[in-house]
Amino acid sequence: MLRLPLRRRHRVATEEALASFLAAQAAFLSQKTVVEFCRARAGLNWNKLFLERAFVEAMERCRGEAFAAVLGDVAESCQVLLRHAGLAETAAPERLGPPVRAALLGHPAPPGGWEAELDGLDARLARALLAAPRPVHVIARTGAPRVFEALPIRGAVREPDRELIENGLRFLLCRVYADMERELDTAALARALERHEEPRQAP
């Protein structure tokens, strides 16, 4: 039987592609964690709960908050990958920051906008460069508490699951990192992001 060759996917090699990739990974992390938790806690009535207007509105707020929280984890993980590839300059906020910010700005903004989040992302990337790259499973501990506090199901019923949410995010972020290793063309990204280096002032 004749087998057709598998079509090779284009690797992430441009700023725009990187922004889309980071946004997709953050959406995967946040939505899978939040939706699966809510379904598990609601039990057999989860489909009815997901139709209630108050819950739907709370879920939308949670998705935005959770997306912003885990995007920082995804961005730092990307930074770690670049640093391990010997591309510390590309991992700097001046170069990696623009596609990370574009990933956030492509997500529906809350009433107050994304300004504080944008500043926080740049600060986080800069701060991470001051130390050795953190293990990816440790990085996920940064966004996990914020995701947990944003969950639309509140009260004592969720408190025992704080550690479950954290461990779930740690596991999923490791999966995201594996996708990064496979999908990112780090050398091409380094060239594509060079134009974001701060211009030197003329003497």
pLDDT tens digits for 40-55? 776 666 667 666 776 6
Length of the chain: 203
> What's this model's pTM, rounded to 2 decimal places?
0.85
Rounded alpha-carbon distances, angstroms, from residue 156 to 30, 43, 46, 146, 153 = 22, 16, 18, 17, 10
Whether 3 has a pLDDT exceeding 60, the answer reads no
Residues 186 and 85: beta-carbon distance below 8 Å: yes
Q: Which amino acid is at 54?
A: A
Write the pLDDT tens digit of every residue in 109-152. 887 788 889 999 999 999 999 999 999 999 999 999 999 888 87
Percent of the chain predicted with pLDDT > 70: 81
pLDDT at 60: 74
Whether 22 has a pLDDT exceeding 90, the answer reads yes
To the nearest whole number, what is the mean pLDDT of the chain?
Answer: 85
Write the pLDDT tens digit of every residue in 79-117. 999 999 999 999 999 999 999 999 999 988 887 788 889
Alpha helices in the chain (DSSP H): 15-42, 46-49, 53-84, 93-105, 115-128, 136-150, 162-183, 186-193
Categorize the per-residue pLDDT at 2 as very low, low, confident or very high, splitting at 50, 70 and 90. very low
Query: What's the CA gap between 189 and 195, in Å, rounded?
Result: 11
Q: Is 134 left (phi over 0), alpha (psi -120 to 50) or beta?
A: beta
pLDDT at 54: 67
Q: Which residues on adjacent β-strands are paired with residue 12?
A: 184
Query: What's the CA gap between 36 and 99, in Å, rounded?
Result: 29
**Other C-beta atoms lying within 10 Å of the C-beta of residue 153:** 18
